[in-house]
Amino acid sequence: MQRMKDCSVGTVLACLGFTTRQLGFCTLVALLTCAATPAFAVDWEEIQLTSGNLSQEVPDIYENIVVYADTRNGNDGDIFSYDLLTQTETVITTGSSFQYRPAIYGDIVVWEEDTLSSRQIFGYDLSTNTKFQITSQISSKLNPDVFGDIVVWQDFRNGNWDIYGYDLSAGTEFQISSDVDIQVEPSIYGDIVVWEDRRNFDIYGYDLSTGTEFQIPTTPLNQSEKPQIHENLVVYEVLQSGTSFDIRAYDLSTDTDFVIVDAPDAQRQAAVYGDLVLWVDERNFSSAEIFGYEISTGTEFQVTSNGSLSNSFPAIWDKTAVWQDGRGSNDPNIFAAVFVPEPGTITLVGLGLVGLAARRSRRKAV
């Protein structure tokens, strides 16, 4: 990043069609990318999204919208959003109750929220600015996820953790898992829901289209945790020894299991989009950095290198990563990074920004 590389006319053309507010972010990314001189073919350009007091935590991302929990108002937590294209922050919900762990897909944001009776799942429609309650059964509910019209979460109503779902279009709730052991940490993509299952400390799945439960044949047969799914790829943590975890993946389309990373110490909190996998890596012992792996090229790369112990909770959409980091303080903020696929080139479509703006513009025109 020490020297400026020549920028082609295509760089300027790539930003045409943006609104005035969007143009600033497009130009910023263009200049950052143009100035970059990465050491290898995978690099990231970092942007700090929040800088408020207290904590901004557990981000998730869909297209250009980042959502996160925020305690700046002095209560247990509110839900905020940040638009990467317009660089604007918006309050989704606020109040005196605890609101945490948001997830987003399309115009729907879901999160867990304390009520007078128990912790429930709530939602918000960004297209109508409407908050709504998804669950009401008196029982603890955690870790919601959403895809399309389906919301999933873990639920303690039966005296142990099971996986439940809710169809927003039909207005109906349904049970997904019912084994007497514990099922937690659900993740959904398409018709497939995956979760961590304590019946044998493995990863299980459920096909909503067929009503079929299945076990993912993980290798080695060690404790497997915290799965995430995108398209046909499921990524998860595997315990190796003590507190040391590696990251592995399972391809549902080919029934193959393979290693993403098996470096020393712990690799945790995997996230996946397409063939990009991110995780929190403690191989350097003195810090917890965000690392990644591009499956198509077999390339491992490092997203952060700031020496912080609090880089955590990565999420990814297309070529944009987000995470929380408390560097320089005890209060985490939200950071983002855009993926630069080739050294010194400006490929904003590859960054997911120009293509994203075009898609959203076409969608609004319709």
* pLDDT category of residue 335 using cuts at 50, 70 and 90: very high
> What pTM does this model have?
0.84
Q: Is residue 172 part of a domain?
A: yes
Distances (CA, A) of 30 to 5, 16, 22, 228, 335: 11, 12, 12, 31, 18
- When mean pLDDT is compared across 22-36, 151-165, 225-239, the lowest value belongs to 22-36
Quote the pLDDT of residue 219. Answer: 67
Q: Which residue range is the domain that position 154 belongs to? A: 42-340
Quote the pLDDT of residue 361. Answer: 40
Mean of the pLDDT values across residues 178-184? 94
Higher model confidence: residue 21 or residue 254? 254
Q: Is residue 222 part of a domain?
A: yes
Q: DSSP assignment of 57-102, as one string?
A: EEEEEETTEEEEEE-TTSSS-EEEEEETTTTEEEEEE--SS-EEEE
* pLDDT category of residue 54 using cuts at 50, 70 and 90: confident
Q: Tell me how far the alpha carbon of residue 269 is from its chain's centroid.
A: 10
- Neighbour count for residue 328 (Cβ, 10 Å): 9
Single-letter code of the amino acid located at 290: I
* pLDDT category of residue 286 using cuts at 50, 70 and 90: confident
Quote the pLDDT of residue 197. Answer: 96
* pLDDT category of residue 220 using cuts at 50, 70 and 90: low
* pLDDT category of residue 18 using cuts at 50, 70 and 90: very low
Q: Is residue 363 part of a domain?
A: no
- The edge-to-edge listing of strands for the beta sheet with 130-133 is 99-105, 108-114, 119-125, 130-133
Q: Is the dihedral of CA 108, 109, 111, 113 positive or negative?
A: negative
* pLDDT category of residue 94 using cuts at 50, 70 and 90: confident
Mean pLDDT of the chain: 83
Q: DSSP assignment of 20-34, as one string?
A: HHHHHHHHHHHHHHH
Half-sphere exposure of 181 (CA within 13 A, CB side): 9
Q: To which residue do tokens 């998860």 refer?
A: 236
Q: Is residue 32 part of a domain?
A: no
Q: Is residue 201 part of a domain?
A: yes
Q: Is residue 37 part of a domain?
A: no
Quote the pLDDT of residue 306. Answer: 87
Q: Is residue 185 part of a domain?
A: yes
Residue-wise pLDDT tens digits, 144-161: 999 999 999 999 999 999
- The edge-to-edge listing of strands for the beta sheet with 276-281 is 267-273, 276-281, 289-294, 299-302
Residue-wise pLDDT tens digits, 339-362: 766 554 333 333 444 444 444 443
Q: Is residue 5 part of a domain?
A: no
- The edge-to-edge listing of strands for the beta sheet with 202-207 is 183-189, 192-197, 202-207, 212-215
Helices 354-365, 20-35: axis angle to 10 degrees equals 160
CATH number at residue 176: 2.120.10.30
Mean of the pLDDT values across residues 57-66? 97
**Structural domain count of the chain:** 1
